[in-house]
C-alpha cells in the first residue's frame, strides 16, 4: 500500500497496476469479485458435502441415494474452481494463482484416480461405506471448507487491495 503523500493525495496512483489509471475497476478486481462470489458457492458445496457424509455415517441415508446426489456436484465444483484459476491466470495474479494451484492439482489427481464409473462423479456406493474412505471424504470436506473460507477472505482482501491501489 502506497500511502498518499503531499498534494498528489487527491489522485492516488498505483505504481504497479496503473496501465489504465482512469479505470479504477480493473480486470483483476473483477476476477477477485467473481472469485469471491464463486467461493461463497463453493463454501456451500463443501458444507453440503460434509453434511452428506455425516448423514451417511449416522445411517440416515442410503449410500446409493447419497452418491446419486453427490456425484453430479463434483464436476461443477471442480470446474468452478478451475474457472477462476484461469481467470486469475488471465489477470496475471500470480500469487493468488499459486495459492490455488495445489487444490487444482489435487482436483485433477482426484478425478483421474476415480473408480471405474460410467457417469460423472467420484463416489462409488459400494465402497463409500468403507470406514477409511468415509473418514477420508469427511476430512476432505473439512479441509476444503477451511480452504475456501480462508480463500474467501483472501479474495475479499485482494479485491479491496486492487480496488484501492488502482
Contact residues for another protein, defined by CB under 8 A: 56-57, 59, 62-64, 115-118, 124-126, 129-132
CB of 129 to another protein, least distance (A): 4
Tally the C-alpha atoms within 13 A of residue 6's C-alpha that lie toward its C-beta. Answer: 2
Q: 19 vs 62, which CB is nearer to another protein? A: 62
Nearer to another protein, 7 or 113 (CB): 113
3-state secondary structure of 11: coil
Cβ nearer to another protein, comparing 20 with 62: 62
Cell 464463486 belongs to residue: 38
CA torsion, points 49, 75, 148, 30, in degrees to nearest 10? -140
Output 67 or 162, the one with its CB closest to another protein.
67
CA distances from 97 to 47, 83, 88, 91 (A): 24, 11, 6, 10
Amino acid at each position: 500500500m502506497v500511502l498518499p503523500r503531499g498534494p498528489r493525495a487527491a489522485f492516488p496512483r498505483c505504481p504497479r497496476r496503473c496501465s489504465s489509471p482512469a479505470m479504477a475497476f480493473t480486470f483483476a478486481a473483477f476476477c477477485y469479485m467473481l472469485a469471491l462470489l464463486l467461493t461463497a458457492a463453493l463454501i456451500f458445496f463443501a458444507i453440503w458435502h460434509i453434511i452428506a457424509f455425516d448423514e451417511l455415517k449416522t445411517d440416515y441415508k442410503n449410500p446409493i441415494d447419497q452418491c446419486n446426489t453427490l456425484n453430479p456436484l463434483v464436476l461443477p465444483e471442480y470446474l468452478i474452481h478451475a474457472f477462476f484459476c484461469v481467470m486469475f491466470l488471465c489477470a496475471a495474479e500470480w500469487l493468488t494463482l499459486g495459492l490455488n494451484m495445489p487444490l487444482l492439482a489435487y482436483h485433477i489427481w482426484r478425478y483421474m484416480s476415480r473408480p471405474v464409473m460410467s457417469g460423472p462423479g467420484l463416489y462409488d456406493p459400494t465402497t463409500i461405506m468403507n470406514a477409511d474412505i468415509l473418514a477420508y471424504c469427511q476430512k476432505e470436506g473439512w479441509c476444503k471448507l477451511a480452504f475456501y473460507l480462508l480463500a474467501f477472505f483472501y479474495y475479499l482482501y485482494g479485491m479491496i487491495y486492487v480496488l484501492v491501489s488502482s
